[in-house]
Amino acid sequence: MRFQQLVENRILEAIEEGVFEGLPGEGAPLALRDADRLAGDLWLAHHVLGNAGALPEWLELA
């Protein structure tokens, strides 16, 4: 059995057993930031710059 299928089966079993029911935040929308919609390296770049308090170059020039 492939690893991906094994993981999928474990998740489905947990859902059937109700493991994910009643968790904090259940039914509430996720608090996503604009940068969270980015993927991979671009997300990392925005995350690092945001934590450093840096602005994008196009904003610094304005």
The string of pLDDT tens digits covering residues 16-61 is 999 999 999 899 988 877 767 778 888 888 888 889 988 877 777 7
Closest by CA to 35, choosing from 21, 23, 49, is: 49
Tokens of residue 58, six digits: 């196009």
The residue length of the chain stands at 62
Half-sphere exposure at residue 32, Cβ-oriented, CA atoms within 13 angstroms: 9
Higher pLDDT, 8 or 58: 8
- pLDDT of the residue at 38: 78
Distance CA 25, CA 27 (A): 6
Q: What is the structure's pLDDT at 47?
A: 82
Name the pTM for this structure. 0.47
